[in-house]
Amino acid sequence: MALQFISGNSISDRTAVMYETICAQACRHPDKNYIFLVPEQATLQVQRELSAVHPDHVLGNIDVVSFGRLAHRLLNEQAGKQAVLLDDTGKSMILRRIAGKEKQSLEVFGRNLNQSGFIQELKSVISEFSAYKVTSEVLEGVLPTLEKRPALQKKLRDIEKVYTSFYKELGEEYLTAEELLGVLSRLVPQSEKIRGSIIILDGFTGFTPLQYQVLEEMLQCAEHVVCAVTEDEKGGREELFSMSREMKNKLFALAKEHHVSCEEKNHRYVTKKREVAEELAHLEKQLYQVPPKSWNKQTDAVNIIAAKNPSEELGFVLRKVLSLVREGYAYREIAVVAGDLSVYRDEISHVFDQAGIPYFIDQKKGLNTHPLIQFVKKALAVLEEQMSYDSVMAFLRNPYVVSDENTFAGDILCEDLDRLDNYLLAGGIERINRWKHPWVMPYDNADEEDLSRLNQLREQIFNWFVPLRTVWEKPDTTVREAMTALFSFMQQFDIAYKLKAQQKAFRESGEKYLASEYEQVYAKVLGLFDQIVELMGDETLEVRVLSDILDSGFEELSVGFIPAAVDRLVVGDLMRTRLEHIRVLFVIGCNDGLLPKRADRGGILSDYDREILKGAGMELALAAREEVFCQQYYLYLLLTKPSQKLYVSFSETSADGKALRPAHLKNVITKLFPKCQTYAAEDAYQKLEGLMQKEDGFLLLINGLRSYLDGEKEMWWQELYRYYMEDEAFKERLDIMREGLFYGYKTEKLDKQIAKKLFGGDHEISISRLEKYAACAYAHFLTYGLQLKERRQFELGAADYGSLFHASISHFFELLEKRHLNWREITDTQRNQLVEESVAKAMEEYQTTVFDSSARNKSMAGRIRRMTDRTLWALGCQWEHGAYEKTWHELDFGRAGGNGVTLPVEEGLELSLRGRIDRVDFAEEDGSLYVKVIDYKSGSTKLDLGKVYYGLQLQLVLYLEAAMAMAAKRNPNRKLIPAGIYYYNMKDPIVSGFDMTKEEIEAKQQKELRMNGLTSTEKASLLLIDAEGGNVVSGLEYKKDGSLSSRALVANADQMHELGYFARKKALDLARDIYGGKIDAYPYEYKKMNPCEYCEYGSVCGFDLQLEGCHYRRLSALDKDEVWQEIAREENKQTDKEEREDG
């Protein structure tokens, strides 16, 4: 029995020397067993290399195994029943079940069990404790020592409960991977395979306590144990090689303890070096030396590349790989290693597949987001959430349920699904009861045929889930029955056939790894189902619990891939990938926090917790400081693998645009190689001689055109442009690219005939429509021309509140009239009762159950009642302050009502303004009839004469014109005087103050609820609306001498008439523009406000200030005096024009 170390640094020929020596011995001693014990991921590579070195190119009596594989080999030698090995998926499922049972007793973990990834963290801790021989007894011994650390003590107590329950659940029937090593240590002394064999340990940086336990037995049973160690010859760089030295010391100690020969003279340090570039040999020798020596010569063996983002970084790698292959390099001699492979994995697959580069990604891929697993998870969510809208739509959007064509019988068409989605959203169909009965609610313009099709879909979808629900919701259903029902549910959708079709399509398109993934996923899912049945088949579990267990299993599912070719480029990561015989290495993603990764692992046990436990005698995995040295060591191994060239690249921004910093490694390399400059990855695009394939040239052309647009005069790209214009494969892409690069907004105009067809119809037009056109002609076109609208939802929007308020107030006045009540004389109690009836009737007419759909909506119904009551109280108070006696409520005008205002657009086309005036009040004085108009607003609208001038706020002025016209018809012999136009903002103000009486509170509330608007300066108008002044209209301010303040928003009689005439003219101009086909996307900007901020068409119109031709119509802010001046100027222009036409 003997222990021997074969040492050497990373560029020594240690591995080759050891392989040659062992192969030679194996040939001389064919009856002796030679066992190479290596990490799991290295077994295939070592087998291949040994076969190449062996004189006969066979392994023969040489066996290459990992600890796990060796355990299985020895178990197979034993007779009798064997325990079932439980994988990570099984562990997670059992832990989920245990955690659910123990939830109430877990003081710390109980509230975290449903957090994403928590069960995986718990599984990692349990596995780590097992690997480091931390038993329940050890935990019980440590717990009393943590009295001064109550938080850690509580965590450890929860871990101990779960740990004990976990192994109690396993019993003797199941075995974990960590326990397997314990079994292996017991089997080694009994094994004929081990006894007298030669054991070679290669590729390890250290061992866990359980692995040392196995090695301890091997040292006593094997003839010879050889361990390969990476270290400096003279013991330099102690921190870098600390793990190697710790491993040597522990093996030395075990050998001495069992009297195994381990004399120094038998150990060997290999000084023979691999053939490597001088610069890379210097890198190996000086990396992490203190202080390091610099390489002061020029070098092209070590290169640093800065890229704008990961895509550009991979673009550089792609072009360089193709260039190297053209120079004679084999793909297998090139490797790419990423700081964080998850950032690059998908795009690497895409660009390498597109370029036809054979590659192998050395990383298992998780399946949790695969469509098949999402299909199962969403189906169970439908059961758990009782067919809620979100769960149903998430399930139906799965590619195994919906399709663009009737490819598979029973699939739902995308078009039908969109209609169904809209119907569910509009109808508030949220629970299973609404799915059981036919749907009868009409929706938009849907006819009976559409509703019939929707009901067919309802039945189809509901019936899919009936058998599954029947089984899963029975209280005595076993797990076996539930999983059988789930499998039967999946069979309805022909998933196995669909997966094969997808696999075939991926293989034909050259996406071999996706094809392999889709080939494996179905078996993986069914294997998970079988495992659940095997573990807990006869138990009964709630839907939620079984669903959680399935989720835990899905999170553990992954697929691995076998290299598809011998000559292939390897893509890997820092900690897992083992590289040999490579000439060129690309290290990508060399950014801070990624290479090496940040050491603090977080999780259930922090690094601080680990330090405390280490002090209490519990040995666990590496803490933060040790992890840093571990990653530095792996980085050293990685950077010294290439023999000719090293490329280290980093991104300046992430894929989502966040700024990134280069890793400290960049500074380390620049110190070692001061003349190694960092150059930009984009430089590779700007050299015609650097083109490797057609795609390169196309990207170069795009950059050339972009530079030209930025002002570069040189047009070197013209030849490329002509080349791609003649290539049919690129011509369409070139057209799209050219259109994008030179895109700018251009003024658009519809043909007049098309405009009439789009906007014609009933020869009526609303004032709000004219205002929308004035705000943005394109938004008007989308609304009234194309009739685009947002999806209707089962909720109360701002427009709904406004409609309900208006309807409630209208019903209030109807009840007053019907019951012959006087508004001035009713009591507060009577008003409250009338409001209650009015609001109830308005809600009934609204034909919706939305008010009962949630607590929030129920409270909103109460708010509507309160605000309606407050509004009517305030309006009543204002009525009492004035002298108006007669009123019209909800006055309709237009062709359907009274024909108030007409717009002669052109010959043969006359439009009537259409609208509904909330209130028109009349007062008689000296034989004249004074008219004022009030519009109720649920928002905070203020009258702005500047907006009136620009056509953005024509409503009140044109309402007054319509009211005057209709009043004139009813009162043909009376003089009509426009008295005022006002907005009343409906709200329920809160007032503050101390020790106020009820009268004082109400006075403050009345002040807050005053109307705002324009009042005629006619003395009678002012007295009629508010005899006392300041109680009805805000802003109607007076001086001490009783005259009006200059700030008061008022107009004399002439100005009131001029304003009405101007508003008519503005409405006519807008109408003529509409029917003239002007649909420009030039929204206004006024007082720093624009309609785009809340526009529902923002994602449709394409208006973007960064695009050429897109800009706002910037409207100057006008005060009231400037408005009157502008209106007078407009009137003079019109008069002059008419005089010229007459003369």
Taking only the tens place, the pLDDT of each residue in 966-1011 is 998 888 888 999 999 999 998 888 888 787 888 888 888 888 889 9
The pLDDT value recorded for residue 874 is 87
Q: Percent helix, strand, coil in the chain (nearest 5)? A: 50, 15, 35
The pair of three-digit structure tokens given for residue 1126, joined into one six-digit string: 């502008």
User: For residue range 817-847, what is the model confidence (pLDDT) as tens digits?
Assistant: 888 888 778 888 998 999 899 888 888 776 5
The answer to whether 3-83+179-274 and 371-557 have equal CATH topology is no
Segment 1105-1129 mean pLDDT = 88
Task: Report the DSSP beta bridge partners of residue 559.
Answer: 365
**CA 39 to CA 201: how far, in whole Å?**
9
The pLDDT value recorded for residue 1103 is 84
**β-strand 902-906 against 909-925: which pairing, if any?**
antiparallel
Confidence of residue 622 (pLDDT cuts 50, 70, 90): low
Q: Which CATH architecture has domain 3-83+179-274?
A: 3-Layer(aba) Sandwich (3.40)
Taking the CA atoms of the chain, what radius of gyration do you get in angstroms?
41
Q: Residue 261 above 60 pLDDT?
A: yes
CA neighbor of 251 nearest in space, from 423, 3, 20, 463:
3
Poorest-confidence range of 228-232, 742-746, 814-818? 742-746
**CA 418 to CA 412: how far, in whole Å?**
10
Q: Residue 1053 above 60 pLDDT?
A: yes
Q: Residue 842: which H helix or E strand, with range? A: helix 828-845
**CA 284 to CA 236: how far, in whole Å?**
12
Burial 923-955, CB ≥16 within 10 A → b, else e: bebeeebbbbbbbbbbeeeebbbbbbbbbbbbb
For residues 763 and 1064, the answer to whether their CB atoms sit within 8 Å is no
For residues 480 and 488, the answer to whether their CB atoms sit within 8 Å is no
Task: Report the DSSP beta bridge partners of residue 679.
Answer: 305
Mean pLDDT of the chain: 85
For residues 784 and 769, the answer to whether their CB atoms sit within 8 Å is yes
The pair of three-digit structure tokens given for residue 1115, joined into one six-digit string: 């409207």
How distant, in Å, are the alpha carbons of 421, 437, 565, 650 from that of 799? Answer: 22, 31, 64, 52
Q: Residue 468 above 70 pLDDT?
A: yes
For residues 917 and 893, the answer to whether their CB atoms sit within 8 Å is yes
Q: What are the phi and psi torsion angles at 1116 (to 5°)?
A: -70, 140
The pLDDT value recorded for residue 172 is 75
Segment 1082-1108 mean pLDDT = 86
For residues 960 and 931, the answer to whether their CB atoms sit within 8 Å is yes
Task: Report the DSSP beta bridge partners of residue 2.
Answer: 261
Q: Residue 171 above 50 pLDDT?
A: yes
Q: Residue 464: which H helix or E strand, with range? A: helix 448-472
Segment 542-562 mean pLDDT = 83
Q: Residue 1143 above 70 pLDDT?
A: no
The pLDDT value recorded for residue 685 is 47
The domain ranges of the chain are 3-83+179-274, 100-171, 280-362+563-613+621-682, 371-557, 693-741, 802-881
Block residue for tokens 């108009």: 933
Confidence of residue 850 (pLDDT cuts 50, 70, 90): low
DSSP E strands in 583-737: the ranges are: 584-588, 645-651, 678-680
Segment 223-229 mean pLDDT = 92
Residue 1133, C-beta contacts closer than 8 angstroms, at least 6 positions apart:
none
**β-strand 174-176 against 198-201: which pairing, if any?**
unpaired
Pairwise pLDDT comparison (29 vs 86), residue with the higher score:
29
Segment 642-647 mean pLDDT = 94
User: For residue range 676-686, what is the model confidence (pLDDT) as tens digits?
Assistant: 888 888 765 45
Instruction: Please count the other Cβ atoms lying within 10 Å of the Cβ belonging to residue 428.
Output: 20
The pair of three-digit structure tokens given for residue 417, joined into one six-digit string: 């699904």
DSSP E strands in 777-908: the ranges are: 886-893, 902-906
- Under DSSP, the state recorded for 775 is H
Q: Residue 495 above 50 pLDDT?
A: yes
> pTM (2 decimals)?
0.73
The pLDDT value recorded for residue 797 is 67
The pair of three-digit structure tokens given for residue 1086, joined into one six-digit string: 């006024």
Task: Report the DSSP beta bridge partners of residue 491.
Answer: none
Task: Report the DSSP beta bridge partners of residue 765.
Answer: 913
**CA 669 to CA 667: how far, in whole Å?**
5
For residues 69 and 36, the answer to whether their CB atoms sit within 8 Å is no
Does the domain at residues 371-557 carry the CATH identifier 2.40.128? no
The tally of CA atoms less than 13 A away on the side-chain side of residue 817 is 10
For residues 307 and 651, the answer to whether their CB atoms sit within 8 Å is yes
For residues 209 and 132, the answer to whether their CB atoms sit within 8 Å is yes
Does the domain at residues 280-362+563-613+621-682 carry the CATH identifier 3.40.50.300? yes
